[in-house]
Amino acid sequence: MKGLDKFIILIVLVGGIWLVLSSGKPNLHQITPEKMLSCINKQERCVSTDEVAKFIMGKDPSVILVDVRTEEEYKKFSLPGSINIPFDSVLNENFSSYVNQDIYKIIFYSNGNTLADKTWLVCRGLDYKNIYVMTGGLNEWVKTILRPVKPSDTESSDAFAMYEFRKGASKYFGGGGSDGTSSSVGAPAPSAPKGNKKKKAGGGCE
């Protein structure tokens, strides 16, 4: 086993111990380090900014975007329709019904990858399913969706097709939203999803 793999597993185990201690009772639903490592290595847990843009523009009711930054950061700039569950509150009983269920596709995002990945690790360590991370976070969102760059003449037709989509998405989202104004369109205060019935998740590393 590679050193990095061992380091990741150690982080997961320490995190699991912290969760047990913080909850005051043993957690019977933590997954094994081996399964966690397998999940970490799977790209299926990652969702691109283009996919997220399509979800928002299509008003997909099966997707919940979760901003894991602070409330202050969320109010300054957030994705349309997203809800704010700060990282240190993700296991709070007021919000757990969002992330511990299999009905919706939960996509975590932050400024970059780090905080969203940490949230994913904590939740996946407790065997929560159907959870994902938006690759690159809001930094990538600004770069690819709000401020797309036209491909060079030598690039493929696929690159130009992607650019045309992103250019349209930029208009949809108002472009230039990274100036500190919020692109959030009436983002609602979190309220628990109706029902918490588990069903087989379509992805997210089961």
The percent of residues in the chain predicted with pLDDT above 90, rounded, is 51
Give the per-residue pLDDT at 150. Answer: 94
Does the pLDDT value for residue 3 go beyond 50?
A: no
- The closest alpha carbon to 30, from 19, 40, 39, 41, belongs to 19
In percent, the amount of the chain with pLDDT more than 70 equals 64
Q: What is the pLDDT of residues 80-109, one digit of tens each?
A: 999 999 999 998 888 888 899 889 999 999
pLDDT reading at 58 higher than 70: yes
Supply 138's token pair: 């809001």
Separation between Cα atoms, residue 130 and residue 202, nearest integer Å: 7
**Concatenated DSSP letters of 40-68:** HT-GGGEE-HHHHHHHHHTT-TTEEEEE-
The ranges assigned to domains in the chain are 44-140
Confidence of residue 40 (pLDDT cuts 50, 70, 90): low
> Which CATH superfamily hosts domain 44-140?
Rhodanese-like domain (3.40.250.10)
pLDDT at 1 over 90: no
The model's pLDDT over 109-152, given as tens digits with 9 standing for 90+, comes to 999 999 999 999 888 888 888 999 999 999 999 999 999 999 99
61-86, pLDDT tens digit by residue? 999 999 999 999 999 999 999 999 99
**Which among 168, 161, 65 has a CA at the least distance from the CA of 107?**
65
Say which residue, 41 or 1, is predicted with more confidence.
41
- In the sheet where 131-134 sits, what is the strand order? 46-47, 131-134, 105-109, 63-67, 83-84
